[in-house]
Chains A and B, each alone.
Chain A
Amino acid sequence: MNAFRLYGRYVSVSIRAQAQYPAATLLLTAGHFVATAIEILGVYALFHRFGQVRGWSFGEVALFYGLINITFSIADILTRGFDVFGTDFVRTGAFDRLLLRPRTATLQLIGYDIRLSRLGRTLQGLAMVVLATGLAPIDWDPPAVALAVWAVAGGVALFSGIIVLQATLSFWTIESLEVVNVLTYGGVQAAQYPLNIYAGWFRKVLTFGVPLACVAYYPVLAILKKPDPLGAPDWILPFTPLAGFAFLALSFLAWRAGVARYASTGS
């Protein structure tokens, strides 16, 4: 069985398990939808008072908001195994069992516990993109759609990279580090607004440190067909999501180094 079919099996097992409790799954999904959508009310309240922020309208910010939420929700679904890796695999010694199986640990971890309830955030993000389309002049021609998909793919790679790094650190710390939430949930929070409203040092962090701006701000500028108020040339905007894949590649290099030095903790 090839890796893709095996992953399909993992997905179907997870879904069937959750389908045993349809009401609970639906309620959790709805709860996740509401919990992640609440933030837009705050954004709306600010726009209601002030009208605009550095030239951005509510509709345009809703597009940033929607796309980054879709992006994060997909990464969240794919990387659950890495997210709980320290607590559920390293500390318990369960990782030993993964290593004994004739498949890569990565495949087994991304197939671990695919949570349908997280689709609540995906749906919420999609709803915001629809709202944005109604409010702002967004022309969803094929290049714009392709660009959105490409940006989301780059973002999924970036968030996955962050969570893989978190898992890698747990080879040393023997537990999942919650501090990484700063970059995941905090990253979503920061990328909900266009980059040019932040202070200079923070823009540098978001572009060159953890390249969130490369998967959210720059490609969305290209979708809105707006020139960058900070002066990045137009031609570079569609290429920026590559940074997300580069980040993921580096994370997996670190991951491999971690696996190589792994010494079991279990009994």
Chain B
Amino acid sequence: MKALLRPYVAAFRARFLLMLQYRVAALAGFATQCWWGAVKIMVYAAFYEAAVVAAPISLPNVITYTWLGQAFLALLPWVADPEVGMAIRTGGVGYDRLRPLDTYSYWYARTLGWVVARALPRALLMFAAAGIALPLVGFDAWAWRPPSGTEAALLFVPALALMIMLGVAVLMLANVVVAASLNERGVNAVLMPLVVFFSGSLVPLDFFPDTMRPFLHAQPLAGLVDIPFRIYFADLRGLAALEGLALQAAWTLVLVGLGRFVMGRMMRSLEMQGG
């Protein structure tokens, strides 16, 4: 088993360590996300002051939701892996096909490394800023709070893991479309608004009209933001939290299955580019 997994772990590690080099990009992302978080929180605070009863989630929880969203923004699958597009255009995909590896798993491991390495430094910086520095300078009300209780903290660990795996499964579908169409601009243009809206990254899904809520909570992208973050502050707890985890896991399996299927079809008709 260990020997079987080794090449994929190596692919993950190589990409992860490479991406950690981009410190300036991480700092720029961090600054932008601080601004975004601050603006969003002030907007929420202004809305809440008139009609707290109308809100589906309390203000401290919405603030934590916002900071979590900014911290883990780079985990969201809104751009296809640029290296896959490059491999297709240069013909490098030929080498990938010749390796004695499962191409889907190999790309999955590399994309995973790319995503996690981009997110990790930003998440740590954001936690230091919003979770530690903000309360220290007296902005308690605006701070990123710790998980609501041990149960929430323990459940958030698998929720975060599933959130990452689900996100990469979505990206793999995008990668396949990039490979089939030889261009990532179209995919990214479609993916970005879909993910921002349906994941709950824009606003928590419960803010949308009640009639839409059953659908919004069941669709696959809810597992990227809405479900894990509501588990974090125990808005989903007990059985509801387990249901959320099951939904994340089920959609991950479905999307991985779908990804493998369309990738198999795409590879059969793949034309080599480059020279």
A-to-B contact residues, CB < 8 Å: 27-28, 31-32, 34-35, 38-39, 41-42, 45-46, 48-54, 177-179, 181-182, 185-186, 189-190, 193, 197-199, 202
Known contacts A48-B207, A51-B51, A177-B28; 8 further A-B pairs (Cβ under 8 A): A38-B196, A45-B202, A46-B207, A48-B209, A50-B54, A179-B27, A179-B31, A181-B32
B190 neighbours in A (Cβ, 8 Å): 31
Which among B39-47, B93-101, B244-252 touches the partner chain? B39-47
A32: shortest Cβ distance to chain B, in Å?
7
B35 neighbours in A (Cβ, 8 Å): 182, 186, 189-190
A80: shortest Cβ distance to chain B, in Å?
16
A253: shortest Cβ distance to chain B, in Å?
25
Does any Cβ of A come within 8 Å of B56's Cβ? yes
B207 neighbours in A (Cβ, 8 Å): 42, 45-46, 48-49
Does any Cβ of A come within 8 Å of B137's Cβ? no
Task: Say whether B42 contacts A52, CB under 8 Å.
Answer: no
A45 neighbours in B (Cβ, 8 Å): 202-203, 207-209
Cβ < 8 Å to A, chain B residues 189-220 = 189-190, 192-193, 196-197, 202-203, 207-209
B193: shortest Cβ distance to chain A, in Å?
4
Chain B 15-50 interface mask (CB, 8 Å, partner A; 1/0):
000000000010111011001101100111011111
Task: Say whether B55 contacts A34, CB under 8 Å.
Answer: no
B192 neighbours in A (Cβ, 8 Å): 35
Q: Is the interface of B mostly helix, strand, loop or mixed?
A: helix
Task: Say whether B43 contacts A179, CB under 8 Å.
Answer: no
In angstroms, Cα B55 to Cα A31, docked, is 32
Does any Cβ of A come within 8 Å of B265's Cβ? no
A35-B192, A42-B203, A49-B207 known; A182+B43 contact, CB < 8 A: no
A50-B47, A177-B28, A182-B31 known; A32+B202 contact, CB < 8 A: no
Closest chain B residue to A177 by CB distance?
B28
A45-B203, A53-B50, A186-B39 known; A181+B28 contact, CB < 8 A: yes
B186 neighbours in A (Cβ, 8 Å): 27, 31
A31-B190, A51-B54, A178-B25 known; A197+B42 contact, CB < 8 A: yes
In angstroms, Cα B108 to Cα A244, docked, is 47
Task: Say whether A31 contacts B189, CB under 8 Å.
Answer: yes
In angstroms, Cα B22 to Cα A178, docked, is 13
Task: Say whether B28 contacts A178, CB under 8 Å.
Answer: yes
In angstroms, Cα B152 to Cα A12, docked, is 59
Task: Say whether A189 contacts B36, CB under 8 Å.
Answer: yes
B36: shortest Cβ distance to chain A, in Å?
7
In angstroms, Cα B29 to Cα A54, docked, is 31
Task: Say whether B202 contacts A39, CB under 8 Å.
Answer: yes
In angstroms, Cα B209 to Cα A38, docked, is 16
